[in-house]
Chain A
Amino acid sequence: MVAQQVNEVASPQPGRTGSGRARKGSKSKEQTGIAYLFLSPWIAGAVLLTIGPMVASLYLSFTDYNLFTAPEWVGLDNYIRLFTQDDRFMSSVGVTFQYVFLSAPLKLAAALGVALLLNRPRKGQGFYRSAFYAPSLLGASVGIALVWRSLFTDDGAVDSLLSSVGINTGGWINQPDYAMYVIVILAVWQFGAPMVIFLAGLKQIPQDLYDAAAVDGASTWKTFTSVTLPMLSPVIFFNLVMEIIQSFQSFTGAFVVSNGQGGPADSTLFYTLYLYQRGFQDFQMGYASAMAWLLLLTIALFTGLVFKTSGRWVFYAGEDK
């Protein structure tokens, strides 16, 4: 299913490059051998470490597995229970969607904006880049969790600041209506990774394209839309796909900030956090595996959509002619 949706992007399209089609035949056979040579570590990793555990988890999703005794086959029970009997599952789905649609666009926008800002050579560039990346160095550690709590708690820095202009919230992190935003802010604050990827992508754009645009007398905006954006599109595409995948799976932020609880009142009970509670705290790994595969399907659906549209807006200098 995923394989189908990624057709477009999976590998260079035979036939797109005119010369490629003509010389197919023996050349592609030779390439297959070399390709497998290059892929050999990856294949070893898949066979040794990835496929087995994935198949195992798929199997476990149809079982009752408490970690310590042999799994018992229960068919679709776990899936049925999820949809018919589990309110917390439903609310975790809601929480997660809300998070994905808030954090992914905001984070990407921040990352792209700052990357463009920092792309032009200026004095102190290294410093700026490092400063913008600094929040991302921290990850979601215990330390940062405590900082976040102190900032967004009742009478914390944010609350005090808002109170001074007359808005009284009584803290963010401790109230179900606001807690989600605290985690979104934490995620957006750490926009360093996509920013660096955007920067690397910007650096890869050949200077002569800009020179040519200048010779043509293109405006700044025109240069941006006709050179920067299309040339950056493979990287934008990458960041978009990864941000979707990662925000659906977001775990550590909510985990450290709510100390694994997902509170207050389940307002930050992310999908994977609930999955984790089920698997490791309630010893229902079969149930957790069912949740995991449902998530996989959901993510595949969304990334599949992005892949589907990518033919229209992602431009590969290496492939289009």
Chain B
Amino acid sequence: MSTATLTAPEDRGQTPVTSPKRKKPGRVRTVAWHAVILAFIAVLLYPIAWLLGASFKPANEVITSLALLPESPTWQNFVDAVAGIGGTSFGTFLYNSLFIAGGSVIGNVVSCVLAAYAFARLRFKLSKLMFGFMLMTLMLPHHVVLIPQYIIFQNMGMVDTFWPLILPKFLATEAFFVFLMIQFMRGLPRELDEAATIDGCGPLRLFYYIILPLARPALITTAIFTFIWTWNDFFSQLIYLSSPSNYTLPLALRLFIDQTSVSAYGPMFAMSVLTLVPIALFFFAFQRYLVQGLATSGLKG
């Protein structure tokens, strides 16, 4: 690979120019670009539109009709969804989900970035072995470790609390994110370390002042994914939470559908839509931080 191109530039003072080669795309091209993308998005979002449509369909229509739009739209599904389940309110489910997802975000970002820094930038004994083990934890289907893990939490008296869902995140058990951050940190120029070392920076200050700010896209990515994946996680919440007052939105969602009783598809769709709102907002709020990459985030700061 042409590494020459990569290490060549030294003229950092130059103001960033956006893609100088393609100066200003013509107006026609821009319009065409937008049109193509919008068409693509329309297809992509059709299923979500369908979900939205279904949430306004009355009970008999929701099962038999395959149409996108409801024939006689109704708010009733949302009223039922917000009414809660078996005496537990929608607000409780929402609060529990927010609490677990929020706690997980903090835990994952903090613990994974620490582990990743060690793996990516420090030299230490057993690093290969540990890294290999970490990858192995990703490869074993979690269904077979579920019961032993349950027993551990049971022994710690943590079953039916939020701890089994949040504590692992603080202990960097999500190898996905550790690995993700390792890859990002390894991409950061080594010259930084050397410059910092010359300035008398130890590994601690190097981490805090150089790596941490530069790894921000990876941190944001981790935060976004952790929030959304925890929010949607069903199985571990099902296993560890048994009191209805601890239930989360995914658990509540499933309670609308039961093969052995009358299912309520309409409210289920409505709750699906409501459940989407917080994560959509979360994503929308955080995605813009992805824009700020290395170029703007103070290399020379």
Contacts and interface: CB of A to CB of B under 8 A. Distances in A.
Interface of A: 2-7, 9-12, 14, 17, 19-20, 28, 30-32, 34-36, 38-42, 44-46, 48-50, 52-54, 56-57, 60, 67, 117, 120-122, 124-126, 128-144, 146-148, 150-151, 153, 155-157, 189, 193, 196-197, 199-214, 216, 218-220, 223, 226-227, 229-231, 234-235, 237-238, 241-242, 245, 248-249, 251, 272, 275-276, 279-280, 285, 288-289, 291-293, 295-296, 299-300, 303, 313, 315-321
Contacts of B9: 206, 208-209, 211-212
Nearest to A6: B132
A235 B290 CA distance: 15
A219 B19 CA distance: 11
B294 A133 contact: no
Report which residue of A53, A210, A238 has the largest number of chain B beta carbons within 10 angstroms of its beta carbon. Answer: A53
Contact of A206 (B17, B119, B127, B295): B295
8 pairs of A and B residues whose beta carbons are closest in the complex: A45-B171, A203-B293, A3-B132, A143-B272, A139-B232, A53-B148, A200-B217, A212-B9
Contact of A272 (B1, B20, B143, B283): B143
B294 A35 contact: no
Interface in B1-39: 1-3, 5-6, 8-9, 11-12, 14, 16-22, 30, 33-34, 37
Contacts of A10: 119, 127-128, 131-132
B66 A155 contact: yes
Contacts of B262: none
30 contacts: A5-B132, A9-B131, A11-B127, A12-B120, A30-B203, A32-B124, A34-B204, A35-B122, A45-B168, A48-B152, A49-B167, A50-B145, A135-B48, A138-B276, A143-B253, A151-B47, A157-B50, A196-B224, A199-B290, A200-B217, A200-B220, A201-B217, A203-B293, A208-B14, A214-B17, A226-B1, A226-B6, A279-B144, A295-B141, A299-B139
Interface in B261-282: 265, 268-269, 272, 275-276, 279-280
B272 to A, nearest CB: 3
Contacts of A206: 9, 189, 294-295, 299
Interface of B: 1-3, 5-6, 8-9, 11-12, 14, 16-22, 30, 33-34, 37, 41, 44-48, 50-51, 54, 66, 68, 110-111, 114-115, 117-125, 127-141, 143-145, 147-149, 152, 167-168, 170-173, 176, 178-180, 183-190, 193-194, 202-204, 207, 214, 217-218, 220-221, 224-225, 228-229, 232, 234, 250, 253-254, 256-257, 265, 268-269, 272, 275-276, 279-280, 283-284, 287-288, 290-295, 299
A7 B269 contact: no
Given A12-B120, A200-B290, A147 B50 contact: yes
A201 B290 CA distance: 9
A83 B229 CA distance: 35
Given A52-B152, A293-B140, A223 B21 contact: yes
A53 B145 contact: yes
A238 B177 CA distance: 10
Given A53-B145, A148-B47, A231-B6, A210 B279 contact: no
B159 to A, nearest CB: 14
Given A35-B123, A204-B293, 12 more contacts: A28-B123, A35-B127, A39-B115, A42-B172, A125-B291, A134-B280, A200-B218, A200-B290, A207-B295, A208-B14, A317-B187, A319-B190
Given A42-B171, A128-B41, A211-B16, A204 B51 contact: no
Nearest to A13: B123
A315 to B, nearest CB: 6
Nearest to B4: A226
B118 A200 contact: no
- The SS class assigned to the B binding surface is helix
Contacts, number: 390
Contacts of A199: 290
Contacts of B189: 206, 317-318
Contacts of A30: 203
Contacts of A245: 138-139
B280 A147 contact: no
Contact of B186 (A32, A48, A234, A288): A234
Contact of B172 (A6, A45, A293): A45
A18 B85 CA distance: 64
Contacts of A136: 228
B190 A17 contact: yes
B287 A139 contact: no
Contacts of B129: 3
Nearest to A60: B144
A19 B123 CA distance: 14
Given A137-B283, A238-B180, A143 B51 contact: yes
Report which residue of B118, B214, B283 has the largest number of chain A beta carbons within 10 angstroms of its beta carbon. Answer: B118
Contact of A35 (B118, B132, B188, B232): B118
Contacts of A2: 132-133, 135-136, 139
Report which residue of B2, B140, B144, B295 has the largest number of chain A beta carbons within 10 angstroms of its beta carbon. Answer: B144
B136 A209 contact: no
A161 to B, nearest CB: 11
